[in-house]
């Protein structure tokens, strides 16, 4: 058994297809440079030092499932990953990998992905598996639930600005289950919106594979997410302000309606200009150098 281990796991952004991916449509997702660090070291009793919320007790549960007695370790978690950018997937993946390294147990990528997806289902009600895929396999992925996971090669990098619209009051699980309830009541409406989203995602893949502008497609996806009912009033206001300036804008992640809607993904803007408008934001890059 190791004296102590530290693992790093990236966050992610969904370029197109969040929520509709749960219902069989494709999604494009990319790992980003922002990371979560999970450290384990021997201790006389269990201690969790973390600013990442773990209301469901996933850390202890994952340690046990991975063969580590929680009462014999100190766990330290540090994160640069904001809400909506794969925090739960990174937490599950990181604890599982750290625990296996701590016990000096083998962990192949496929098993790591399966264990992470199974764990994230507890946090997200009906996880599509797209977030675990991104944080474990990395790069830019084309993902269809239970069918296809394909690394995409694109000829150029895309710079995206992530704007803070406020922390969602709802959890990802609540957003997913709420949509499932609405889908059950109005299946034809939501099926139409999901299929339209799938077509946008397909067009985005085609554009990115030849290095073309994706701003309008980001807007198309963003407006569909608003129609589906996943975006609150403040986030819509910010989105419309930026769209009027010619930018592509959408939420990236589960969204939220009662308070904030998490991060807005903005294409075609400079980070400095958005900060001058008074918004908290940072830049990420999608695509290999």
Extents of the domains making up the chain: 5-151, 158-286
First vs last Cα of the chain: how many Å apart?
38
Q: Is 80 exposed, middle or buried (0-12, 13-18, 19+ CB in 10 A)?
A: middle
Q: Annotate 20-35 with DSSP letters as a single string.
A: GGGGT--EEEEEEEEE
Report which of 7, 67, 15, 9 is spatially closest to residue 35, judged by C-alpha positions: 9
- Domain over 5-151 is classified CATH 3.30.230.10: yes
Q: Classify burial at 277, counting beta carbons within 10 Å of its beta carbon; exposed 0-12, middle 13-18, buried 19 or more.
A: middle
Tens place of pLDDT per residue across the chain (289 aa): 567 999 999 999 999 999 999 999 999 999 999 999 999 999 999 999 998 888 888 999 999 999 999 999 999 999 999 877 999 999 999 999 999 999 999 999 999 999 999 998 877 666 788 999 999 999 999 999 989 899 999 999 999 999 999 999 998 889 999 999 999 999 999 999 999 999 999 999 999 999 999 999 999 999 999 999 999 999 999 999 999 999 999 999 899 999 999 999 999 978 888 999 999 999 999 987 6
Superfamily of chain region 158-286: GHMP kinase, C-terminal domain (3.30.70.890)
Token readout for 122 is 């507890």
Q: What's the predicted TM-score (pTM) here?
A: 0.91
H-type helices in the chain, by residue range?
Answer: 58-65, 87-102, 109-124, 130-137, 172-185, 187-209, 215-228, 233-244, 271-276
C-beta atoms surrounding 20 within 10 Å: 27
């Amino acid at each position: 058994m190791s004296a102590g281990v530290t693992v790093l796991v990236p966050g992610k952004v969904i370029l197109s297809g969040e929520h509709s991916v749960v219902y069989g449509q494709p999604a494009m997702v990319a790992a980003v440079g922002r990371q979560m660090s999970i450290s384990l070291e021997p201790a006389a009793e269990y201690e969790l030092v973390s600013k990442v919320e773990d209301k469901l007790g996933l850390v202890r549960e994952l340690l046990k499932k991975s063969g580590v007695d929680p009462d014999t370790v100190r766990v330290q978690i540090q994160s640069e990953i904001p809400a909506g950018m794969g925090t739960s997937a990174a937490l599950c993946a990181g604890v599982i990998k750290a625990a296996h390294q701590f016990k000096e147990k083998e962990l192949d990528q496929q098993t790591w992905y399966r264990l992470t997806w199974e764990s994230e289902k507890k946090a997200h009600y009906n996880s599509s598996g797209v977030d675990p895929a991104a944080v474990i396999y990395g790069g830019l992925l084309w993902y269809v639930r239970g069918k296809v996971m394909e690394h995409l090669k694109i000829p150029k990098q895309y710079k995206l600005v992530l704007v803070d619209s406020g922390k969602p009051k709802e959890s990802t699980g609540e957003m997913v289950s709420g949509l499932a309830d609405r889908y059950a009541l109005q299946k034809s409406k939501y099926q139409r919106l999901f299929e339209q989203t799938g077509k946008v995602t397909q067009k985005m893949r085609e554009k990115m594979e030849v290095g073309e502008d994706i701003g309008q497609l980001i807007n198309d996806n963003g407006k569909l997410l608003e129609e589906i009912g996943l975006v609150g009033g403040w986030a819509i206001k910010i989105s419309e302000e930026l769209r009027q300036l010619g930018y592509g804008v959408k939420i990236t992640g589960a969204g939220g309606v009662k308070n904030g809607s998490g991060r807005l993904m903005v294409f075609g803007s400079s980070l400095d200009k958005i900060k001058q408008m008074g918004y908290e934001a940072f830049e990420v890059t999608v695509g290999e150098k």
